[in-house]
Amino acid sequence: MLDGRGSVRRRTGARLWLSGTWLTLFVLAAIFAPLISPHDPLAQDLMLGRLPPAWMSGAEPGFWLGTDSLGRDVLSRIIHGARVALIVALVAGTVTCLIGSALGLLAGFYRGWADRVISRLVDIWMAFPPVLFAILLIAVLGTGLTSVILAIVIIDWTRFCRVVRAETLNQSKMDYVHSAKVAGFTRLRTLVAEILPNVLPTIVALLTLEMGIAVIVEAILSFVNLSISTDQPTWGGMIAEGRTSIYQAWWVLVFPLIALFLTVLSFAQLGEGLRERFDPVLR
């Protein structure tokens, strides 16, 4: 049993370390993009179009991941695209978490008419296909980073609400909640001081997962040209451009895909690792 627990701890530690390392690099690249980018991500030079990465024949010094069809540096555009991904992940993920978790806590703890109203609203909301709903919202709100964030929040709050409601219902049946009521705690104090700390690991795991989903949604909208201006580097826009020249310049497609995949995977693994580390039941 001890060996099993030690193995789980080692796996959790490795998961946290690897995902945390990549996300740290991701955040630092986004914050210091103007300082560490080797070139201007918008600078075009048709004479340098579709240069291969530095380790391939025909490469030019300084263009480590090659250039696209307009001669723009792929590495610089990936670094600047991380800024858009980070803003969307932090803002959309946090606002979605706050709204969905608050409604889930209210529905799961107070029950009654509050639970019925919120649950029916969630059922109606989840009847819409999320991607099509996002595209419809962007068409109504207009393109732009604010519209992308609003679309993600409007669509994804239901995920937090349903999971947090179910976890709150389970926690409400525990002995410590009954003890708090016997001790004279008000319902609000019981919810905030007793139930919320035990639901918090689940909320944190959902938050990190939602940040990864927000990055994917922004990439999808950029891919179909419904995100921010096409002049601003985004991973989805780079993937869309690279798709058209995959046989002539595969690096324009592959490297943004790798960055997107590692970022989303790291968010998911970080959330799962944190839940395993801090959830009192799993411990």
CA dist list (Å): 126 to 73, 91, 155? 41, 22, 8
> What single-letter DSSP state applies at residue 62?
T
What lies within 8 Å, CB to CB, of 7 at 6+ separation is none
Q: How far is Cα 194 from Cα 198, in angstroms, rounded to an integer? A: 7
Helix axes 196-223, 145-172, angle to 10 degrees: 150
CA dist list (Å): 106 to 48, 117, 118, 183, 191? 58, 11, 9, 21, 9
Q: How far is Cα 181 from Cα 43, in angstroms, rounded to an integer? A: 65
Tokens of 76: 């610089």
Nearest to 51 by CA among 33, 66, 62: 66
Q: How far is Cα 161 from Cα 171, in angstroms, rounded to an integer? A: 15
User: pLDDT tens, position by position, for the chain (283 residues)?
Assistant: 445 555 656 777 788 899 999 999 999 999 999 999 999 999 998 899 899 999 998 888 889 999 998 999 999 999 999 999 999 999 999 999 999 999 999 999 988 898 999 999 998 888 888 777 888 888 888 878 888 899 899 888 998 999 999 999 998 888 888 888 888 888 888 888 888 888 988 898 899 999 999 999 899 888 888 877 667 899 999 999 999 888 889 999 999 999 999 999 999 898 888 777 765 555 5
CB distance 215 to 267 below 8 Å: yes
pTM of the model: 0.88
Q: How many CA atoms lie within 13 A of 140 on its CB side?
A: 8
Tokens of 231: 């002049």
Superfamily of domain 2-278: MetI-like (1.10.3720.10)
Q: Cβ of 274: how many Cβ atoms within 10 Å?
A: 20
Q: How far is Cα 217 from Cα 232, in angstroms, rounded to an integer? A: 17
